[in-house]
Each structure stands twice: as structure tokens, then as C-alpha cells.
Structure 1
């Protein structure tokens, strides 16, 4: 089977995770781990299909507090960052996958690093997108861009997330400042935002991730231990949240890692113009 198939994973604490797989059952598994606040919908369907065409079985899932997974009241997450990390492994366990290729974006990249450091036998390769090192040995790195810091500090009215039209516009506008100025595909983003709004039980709850994300990477943190794990670091040259130096330092900290720095890309899913390079790099190390 190659078409999308939906399933659920039940966690010991009663949490239900919504999961989608696509691709042949006997192809190598590529687990997509999204960033903070993101449901599985943010992994563009066309990009997922390109991974499938490259011979990979794609698995994506809704984090807690996103999509169709279990939600908590906004501002009161009933879980820790460590639970978000454990959820990724639980998805693989439920599918009977002992070892997978992990692709993590932003927070998801930190989760992927943590899994590889803690349980290296579960990880066939790593693709780390728009993220930073969990290893404190990496040293001082530049902070967020001033314009993004100013945006965080500004007082703006909260959008009405109960209004589907307003919620879509809020999601699109929320992603715009993070993208590279020439890498923001508004039409594609709006299509994704409509799906996010349609599938999410409580959009406001997704902000709970920011309260626990700092706890998502317990355990070992020495990235030099990943010498035997094939790794590609994909980073935007104009990332305003984790400037390009973060990607370069991350690639340098993992022995043998390859850096794929994308011109014009910000803190975002790699733009469509780069997908041939990204999919080629991921498929090559998966092979």
C-alpha cells in the first residue's frame, strides 16, 4: 500500500496520538518529527510524496496538543518535554519499527538528537532541519534576529482562533516572520493552514509546547557520540530564530555530518525550490 493511512497510538498516561503513514510497508521508515506547535499537516503533502517516490515509508504524527491528538487546556499542559520525546518512540513501537530514519524540524530536531543520543540502535540516520545543538559544548552562538525579538516583545491583540477564517489568517501571518523574505509561499501556506484549522481540536493549546520545550531533551548530550549515525543538517542561510551559525556548529559537532545550507531559507520547512536537494540528501543516506 502507498496511500495515506490513519491510525492512533495510545500512551500509558491516556494520551492518544494521531498518526499517518504513506508508502510501501516494506520500505525504510522515515519518521517526521514536527516543531513546537505544529501538527503533522505542516509537513507538506507534496514533500511527503516525494519522499515516498524516493523509496521511503513516511510516518508523520500530531504532537500532543495539536491536530487530532489529545489536548490540554491552554496554559496548563499535563505533560513534560520528555513526554514529547517519548511519543516519537511510541509511534515507532506501535508500528513495529525497531529502527528508523529520523527527520526533525526545530523542536523536532532536538527530539531527534535526544533519541539518537539515548537509543542509538533505534536511529538509522538523522536529518536535522532549522534546529540547534542540544550539546552545551557547542559554545556561544548568536541569538535571534532583532526584528524577530521585537516582534516577540510587541503587544498584539490575540486572534479569534474560534473563527476558522481568522484562524487561518493568524497561522499564515504567524509563519511569515520566520520564513526567508523570498521563501514564503503564501498560497501553499494558506492551504496547509486550512487543513490545520480543520483538523485541530483546540488551536490555542498548541502553545503549551513552549512551556515544556526546554525539558524535551533529557539524558546524554555529547554529540560527538553520534559519529556512527549518518547525519544531514539542513539549515536556512537567513534563519532569524537560529541564525546560520547554529546549523554550521551543529554539523561540525556531529562527526561526519553533512551541512546543506539553503540560500534564502529562514526558520521554516525547506522551500519547494530546495526539495530536490533535500529529498536527494535524505534518500542517499537512507540508502
Structure 2
């Protein structure tokens, strides 16, 4: 792994696949690191001939962190209630510029772009701001920024509060178990505890997931405008993937995204929650590849 200085922030990244492969940029979601992309999915993309670029968003993993206090819960709550009251150290626009800067650093003129959750929002913003840099777009388990669609289910409130109020882990095993439970409550029906144990350990080894950095990313989402009207301007081949069991970003977010982007293709998996189920990963890679090929047809 290596790091690039993008503006005033260091961005940690990793590249897999042939140097002459078609570049594909994978953008991870809120509170997650580049290692959250399943290795078998990355390997399958490489097998399709892609040069796979992954990175940690600012305030996550081994990338640079914002040196400001954690947003106060009352501020986050106000931002969730109405964008008018949202404040943030940065927005999705800044995160999209981080992505564009990384492409510049790597000498990549254009790339296929795949984003998951908050990463889908960043991918949309990158496509809108820098359309000349994006060959194709894939938005996974994300939304358009319209608060009427893709909200978080009220059913997640109780398990989230339970985790937040639990005593802080005092051992590595307790921290790993906390990570497993965090993944479990948002996953679909194919949750794999052994796989999540490995992922939770990797997150810990790379700095863990701090409350302050997660909340700054949430504030960035809250403070960013609704993209729905602008999404109609997107002309690159677009694939939208969502899970019907997703409670963190309800399926209406994927439906709204597909409706907003002309000519986009929507795929919804019945067993998928806010995760990438192992049994669907090769199919997801095939669909991403098919969408990317539309850019060269």
C-alpha cells in the first residue's frame, strides 16, 4: 500500500491488476476502509482485466484525519432532520475531489467508477463534477440525497443504540466482536461471521473505526445537497445495485437513483442487505463488467 498527497490530505490507496488494464476506481462507504471490498470480488475484477484502484476516504483507515473535534450529537441530529441545519468540515464534493486527485496522482485520465453506500454518493458526485473522467458508473446500496428515499429503517434504531451504549471494548477480541455485531445488524440473510471476523480484525489493524471520523463523514452527507435533478445530466453507462433487505439505506434509494439517471440499469437482490453477499459477488462483477463494456461499444 502507498499514500498520495491530495490537496491538504493524505490518501492511502492500493492498486491490483495489470498496468495496462482498464482502470476501475472502487469507493468505499462511511466508516469503512479499502479492505472492506471483499478480496474475491477484487480478484474477480482483476480476472476481467481491470486495473483495480481502492483507497481509504479521508478520516478513515490509513488516510489523513481531520483535526477538528467530533461533531456534537445535537448537531448531527439537526442535520439529519433538515439539511438547512447541517454543518460539516467537508462535503461529498470534497470527497469526490479526493477521488479525482487520486486519479491525477496515478496518471489515470478516465476510469470506471464503482461506489458503495456513501461511496455511491461520492461516485455520483464525481461523475457529475468530472464527467470527462468517468467511463461508466456503478452505484451500490446508495441514494440520491433526496431525504424521501433511501432513508434508514426505524428498526435499526434499537440495535444501533444498544451498540453505542455498550461499554468500550477492553481487549482485541471484544473489539473484533463489536465489529462483527456492527456488520451483522446491517447485513442480509447470507451474513458470514467468519469472514466478518477477518474484516473486523483488518479494520483494527489499520486504525479501527473512530466515532469522531465516522460522525464527520455523516456530517458531510447531511450537508450535501440533493443530487436528483443533476443526476439526469449523467450520460455514461450506469448500473444501480441494491438489496431488498437493506435497512441502512432502504431499497427506495436504489430505485430513486435508477429513475433519476437516464438509461440506467437497476438490479435488486432479494437476500442482500447493506453488504455484498458472497453468493452474488461473481454476478455483481459480471454486471459491472457488462456495464463497463457499454462504454466502449
**Counterpart contact for 1:104–1:129, Cα < 8 Å:** yes
Q: What is aligned with 1:127?
A: 138
Indicate conservation of the 8 Å contact 2:90/2:220, yes or no: yes
The two structures have a TM-score, normalised by structure 1, of 0.87
Cα contact 1:48–1:58 (8 A) shared by 2? yes
Aligned residue in 2 for 1:57: 51
Q: Judge which range, 115-124 or 143-152, deviates more.
A: 143-152
CA shift digits 1:21-79 (9 cap, x unpaired): 00001111111111011110101111111110011110001112221112246844894
Aligned residue pair count: 274
Cα RMSD for the two superposed structures: 2.3
Q: 8 Å contact 1:118–1:220 — kept in the other structure?
A: no
Equivalent residue in structure 1 for 2:108, among 82, 97, 104: 97
Summarize the alignment of residues 233-248 of structure 1 with structure 2, pairs less than 5 Å apart: 233-248=240-255
Moved more, 139-148 or 83-92: 139-148
User: How far apart, in 1, do the equivalents of 2:228 and 2:259 lie?
Assistant: 18
Distance 1:219 1:176, change over 3 A: closer
1:253-286 Cα distance to aligned partner (Å, 9 max, x none): 1111111111111112x21101121100111122
For 1:54 and 1:173, locate their aligned partners in 2 and report how far apart those are by CA, in whole Å: 33
Distance in 2 of aligned mates of 1:234 and 1:130: 6
Matched, 1:214 2:211: no
Under a length normalisation based on structure 2, what TM-score does the superposition of the two structures give? 0.85
Q: Is the 8 A contact 1:237 1:265 kept in 2?
A: yes
The equivalent of 2:10 in structure 1 is: 16
- Contact 2:46/2:52, CA 8 A, preserved across alignment: yes
Aligned to 1:3: none
Matches within 5 A, 1:153-172: 153-154=161-162, 156-160=165-169, 163-172=171-180
1:1-287 → structure 2 map (5 Å cutoff): 6-13=1-8, 15-72=9-66, 75-76=69-70, 79-81=89-91, 82-134=93-145, 136=146, 140-141=148-149, 143-154=151-162, 156-160=165-169, 163-180=171-188, 182-200=189-207, 203-207=210-214, 208-216=216-224, 221-226=229-234, 228-268=235-275, 270-287=276-293
Partner of 2:76: none
Whether the aligned pair in 2 keeps the contact of 1:128 and 1:232 (CA below 8 Å) is: yes
Structure 1, unmatched stretches of 5+, are 1-5
CA displacement 1:65-113 (0-9 Å, x = unmatched)? 2211122468448941233221111111110111111111111101111
Separation in 2, partners of 1:219, 1:243: 17
Give 1:205 shift.
4.2
